[in-house]
Amino acid sequence: MPVHNADIAAAFEEIADLLEIQGASPFRVRAYRNAARTVGASGHDIRSRLESGEALPKWPGIGADLAAKIHEFATTGKSELLASLRAQLPATVATLLKVPGLGPKRVKMLHEALHVDTLGQLSEAARDGRIRRLPGFGEKSERSIRDAAETAMSSTGRFKLSLAAQYVEALVVYLKKIPGAGQVVVAGSFRRMRETVGDLDVLVTAQDAGRVMAALGDYDEVAAVRSSGPTRSSVVLRNGMQIDLRVVAQDSYGAALHYFTGSKAHNIAVRRLAQARGLKVNEYGVFRGAERIAGATEASVYASVGLPFIPPELREDRGEIEAARAGRLPHLIERADLRGDLHAHTVASDGRNSLAEMAQAAWEAGLEYLAITEHSRRLTVAKGLDAAALGAHIERMDRLNEQLDGLTLLKGIEVDILEDGSLDLPDEVLGRLDLVVGAVHSQFSLSPERQTARILRAMNHPYFSILAHPSGRLLGEREAYEVDMPTIIREARRRGCFLELDAQPERLDLNDVYCQMAKAEGVLVSINSDAHSTLDFANLRYGVGQARRGWLEKGDVLNTRSLKALRPLLAATLG
Task: State the pLDDT at residue 294.
Answer: 97
**Please, are residues 491 and 470 in contact by the beta-carbon 8 Å criterion?**
no
Residue 401 vs residues 404, 450, 567: alpha-carbon distances, Å = 5, 41, 16
Task: State the pLDDT at residue 402.
Answer: 95
Q: Which residues pair with 242 in a beta bridge?
A: 236
Q: Which residues pair with 332 in a beta bridge?
A: 553
Give residue 195's Cα distance to chain centre.
Answer: 7
Three-state DSSP state, 371 = strand
Task: State the pLDDT at residue 156.
Answer: 59
Q: What is the rounded distance in angstroms from the CA atom of residue 505 to the CA atom of residue 163?
A: 9
CATH numbers and ranges of domains, the chain: 5-154 (1.10.150.110), 160-325 (3.30.460.10), 335-571 (3.20.20.140)
Q: What is the rounded distance in angstroms from the CA atom of residue 215 to the CA atom of residue 358?
A: 42
Q: Which residues pair with 463 in a beta bridge?
A: 574
Q: Which residues, other chains included, contact 370 with Cβ-Cβ below 8 Å and sequence gap of 6+?
A: 340, 341, 344, 358, 359, 362, 407, 408, 409, 410
Q: pLDDT tens track of the chain, all 575 residues?
A: 568 888 898 889 889 888 888 888 888 998 999 899 888 877 778 888 888 888 888 888 888 899 999 999 999 888 999 988 888 877 667 778 777 778 777 888 888 888 888 877 888 888 888 899 898 888 888 888 887 777 766 655 788 999 899 889 999 999 999 999 999 999 999 999 999 998 999 999 998 999 999 999 999 889 899 999 999 999 998 888 899 999 999 999 999 999 999 999 999 999 999 999 999 999 999 999 999 999 999 999 999 999 999 999 999 999 999 999 999 999 999 999 999 999 999 999 989 899 999 999 999 999 999 999 999 998 777 789 999 999 999 999 999 999 999 999 999 999 999 999 999 999 999 999 999 999 999 999 899 999 999 999 999 999 999 999 999 998 877 889 999 999 999 999 999 999 999 999 999 999 999 999 999 999 999 999 999 999 899 999 999 999 999 999 999 999 999 999 999 999 999 97
Q: What is the DSSP letter of 375?
A: E
CA geometry: angle 259, 262, 264, nearest 5 deg: 100
Instruction: Classify residue 567 by burial, with Cβ atoms within 10 Å: 0-12, 13-18, 19+.
Output: middle
Task: State the pLDDT at residue 484.
Answer: 96
Looking at 192-233, list the stretches that DSSP marks H as alpha helix, in order from N- to C-terminal side.
209-218
Task: State the pLDDT at residue 1.
Answer: 57
CA geometry: angle 135, 137, 143, nearest 5 deg: 155
Pairing of strands 242-248, 232-237: antiparallel
**Please, are residues 501 and 342 in contact by the beta-carbon 8 Å criterion?**
no
